[in-house]
A and B are shown apart, each in its own frame.
Chain A
Amino acid sequence: MTETGMFGAQGTGDTSGYGGLVRTAVSPGSSERPYGGYFDDIADDLERAYPDFSNAIEKVVVDRGELTLHIKREKLFEVAMILREKLLFEMCLGVSGVHYPTDLNRELHAVYPLLSITRNQRVRLEVSVSDSDPHIPSLVEVWAGNNWNERETFDMFGIIFDGHPGLTRILMPDDWRGHPQRKDYPLGGIPVEYKGATVPPPDERRSYK
């Protein structure tokens, strides 16, 4: 798409010389044991408590001192239940959606940061689904506090949480169309006049990738 931005810039308006490069979000690859710190304990405990572990976990990523378990969505509910009941992760600190349009058939990700007060440990669950089939089992039965968080992620990304007691929009008006946090949803805005010149809305200004 060709667009004319501020100062008549064409295309991306990138003046850095790397305008032809297209950056795609790359998620880091699977980590190998030992994961370090308490991460091995969590993995060991989970393997012991959940026999179907190898089938449910797509990959384990240790990055920047944080442990991420990528879970198949069919197994998410079981794994979450085991994590709460057996591994004492009493708290789920919300649901964060991420939209990766270039990650084909895994465009929508839901990220659950978990906290164990008893163990003072943290782990992150990540589930990815395709844009055409955006269904993820709801975890409201595991952590009641996920109710609003799942509604927000539905509102912003259009991920449908199956089994949620009342999956409606929460931040946007009920009759809103589209899901604003998706990457293909424009930021919008209006041009602003400043000292005689017109500054275009933020998503039409020239940008550096």
Chain B
Amino acid sequence: MSSITDPYASSRETTEGTVFSVTGGDWDSLVTEIGATKEERVVVNMGPQHPSTHGVLRLVLELEGETVTEVRCGIGYLHTGIEKNTEYRSWTQGVTFVTRMDYLAPLFNEAAYCLGVEKLLGITNDVPERASAIRVMMMEFNRISSHMVALGTGALELGALSPMIFCFREREKVLDIFELVAGLRMNMAYFRPGGVAQDLPDGAIAKIRESVKELRRDFKDNVKLLVGNSIWMKRTEGIGYLDLAGCTTLGVTGPVLRSTGLPWDLRKTAPYCGYENYNFDVITADTCDVYGRFLIRMNELEQSLRIIEQCADVLEKLEGAPVMVADKKIAWPSQLALGGDGLGNSLDHIRQIMGTSMESLIHHFKLVTEGFHVPAGQVYSAVESPRGELGVHLVSDGGTKPYRVHFREPSFNNLQSTSAMCEGSLIADIIGAVASIDPVMGGVDR
């Protein structure tokens, strides 16, 4: 047989019949060889390195012609053992780790983790109002930047290039705000148990208000490009169908759940960080498809801007109020300052502890090296991330380190629905369906 000499298309006999393995680009020689066989079942490995699988996601597809009969996801390529690592660091250091899970929504990871630690400590109500308002504002900005990547790359994967340019332009503006406030553009470790790492810098509110105006103006470009666009709608309408029963049994939350018409949003149903004080609408669609999820993300941008504007009002009123719990045994001891290379120690604080006060130095040393003790017990705390319910299961043994940190990642749970959404559809529609789930592999694999 010719296959023995062909390195790209070898064949072997199995109980299921002849199996041809193709690993290279010589498709023609394979077609000639299988021309005589009746079956046209092809198993294709899509990924883990593939431009349209949203990161290192591997999809094993069984095809009959262009129809997908079976989809299985292969995950774990980005597993970094973050949950295990946090068990060897103090509770505060945990923030730096968990922010790297879902790297497009780092502040939501931090928020869920910090809310959990605060619940374990029993200081949920002691977190200052200003800190909560900053958290809400930053999270809503993060929701915008995350949705921008979801929409931009989703469109790109379906062949629409221009929306991606606009989406990343808007995302840059949001990242500029992050840089201004937290010193870093991604993985900021800005939320800390008890509050936030530092207060807003001077002039931040004015800059934020200006950005909100610009964002609101520029979002229209994407609306014009995609909403109602007949090519876009043909690629997305009726694709990736998953109804409410499917969502609940598979544990799917977020925009995918809301695209079934159920207004389930933890910001409304189980408010945290004072979300009950802000006016906004929960966006839903009733089409259960990719287009509905796309519209939900589009319209959530405006709701996030509304919340940010209200936060700006609140923050102006609370100018100068504390942003960290008053308990000095928990609050991070040093007053951090923005330096040229990001957030760092404030020189004033170093001068004080090194030169003037032995007690301050001891306190600083103990809290930074050892950390604070957290009473034994377990909690589950959840926030509404751009992808759905992001939950954290924290267990403490009473020590200064977490005993167990488990993240209930919406990407992980939502990705499971790929099979239910795609089996029976065309191969080209898998791209749209996976993009509408918006899985971030850093969150899936942790």
- What is the chain B residue whose CB lies nearest that of A203? B88
Q: How many residues of A contact B (CB 8 A)?
A: 49
B370 part of interface (Cβ distance < 8 Å): yes
Contacts of B122 in A (CB 8 A): 64
Indicate if the CB atoms of A93 and B391 lie closer than 8 Å: yes
Of B376, B379, B380, B413, most buried by chain A (CB within 10 Å of CB) is B380
Indicate if the CB atoms of B120 and A208 lie closer than 8 Å: no
> Contacts A66-B379, A93-B251 known; A113 to B89 CB distance under 8 Å?
no
Contacts of A147 in B (CB 8 A): 416
List 24 A-B pairs, Cβ < 8 Å: A25-B395, A25-B397, A27-B376, A63-B377, A64-B377, A64-B379, A92-B251, A93-B380, A93-B408, A94-B412, A97-B406, A98-B403, A98-B404, A113-B391, A117-B264, A120-B270, A143-B249, A143-B251, A145-B252, A146-B251, A149-B251, A187-B81, A202-B89, A209-B399
Contacts of B401 in A (CB 8 A): 207
Contacts of A180 in B (CB 8 A): 81, 84
A173 part of interface (Cβ distance < 8 Å): yes
Q: Which of B79, B391, B397, B400 contacts A24 (CB 8 A)?
A: B397
Indicate if the CB atoms of B380 and A113 lie closer than 8 Å: yes
Per-residue CB contact flags for chain A residues 1-30 toward chain B (1 = under 8 Å, else 0) read 000000000000000100000011111100
A122 part of interface (Cβ distance < 8 Å): yes
Per-residue CB contact flags for chain A residues 58-74 toward chain B (1 = under 8 Å, else 0) read 00000111101000000
- Which residues of B are interface residues toward A (Cβ below 8 A)? 75-76, 79, 81, 83-85, 87-89, 119-120, 122, 248-253, 262, 264, 269-270, 369-371, 376-380, 382, 389, 391, 393, 395, 397-401, 403-404, 406, 408, 412-413, 416, 445-446
Contacts of B380 in A (CB 8 A): 66, 93, 113, 122, 124
Q: Which of B87, B248, B416, B446 contacts A148 (CB 8 A)?
A: B416
- What is the chain A residue whose CB lies nearest that of B73? A148
- What is the chain B residue whose CB lies nearest that of A148? B416
A192 part of interface (Cβ distance < 8 Å): no
Per-residue CB contact flags for chain A residues 134-169 toward chain B (1 = under 8 Å, else 0) read 000000000111111100100000000000000001
Considering the chains assembled together, what is the distance between the CA atoms of A117 and B252 in angstroms?
12
Indicate if the CB atoms of A208 and B369 lie closer than 8 Å: yes
Indicate if the CB atoms of B84 and A187 lie closer than 8 Å: yes
Indicate if the CB atoms of B76 and A170 lie closer than 8 Å: yes
| Min C-beta distance of A52 to chain B, whole Å | 25
Those of A162-209 within 8 Å (CB) of chain B: 169-173, 180-181, 187, 202-203, 207-209
- Which residues of A are interface residues toward B (Cβ below 8 A)? 16, 23-28, 63-66, 68, 90-94, 96-99, 111, 113, 115, 117, 120, 122, 124, 143-149, 152, 169-173, 180-181, 187, 202-203, 207-209
Contacts of A16 in B (CB 8 A): 370
Contacts of B84 in A (CB 8 A): 180-181, 187
Indicate if the CB atoms of A173 and B250 lie closer than 8 Å: no
Contacts of B249 in A (CB 8 A): 90, 143-145
Contacts of B399 in A (CB 8 A): 23, 209
Indicate if the CB atoms of A187 and B85 lie closer than 8 Å: yes
Contacts of B85 in A (CB 8 A): 187, 202
> Contacts A120-B269, A148-B416 known; A91 to B251 CB distance under 8 Å?
yes
Considering the chains assembled together, what is the distance between the CA atoms of A189 and B264 in angstroms?
42
- What is the chain A residue whose CB lies nearest that of B250? A145
| Min C-beta distance of A209 to chain B, whole Å | 6
Indicate if the CB atoms of A145 and B393 lie closer than 8 Å: no
Considering the chains assembled together, what is the distance between the CA atoms of A146 and B412 in angstroms?
11
| Min C-beta distance of B45 to chain A, whole Å | 15
Considering the chains assembled together, what is the distance between the CA atoms of A64 and B400 in angstroms?
19
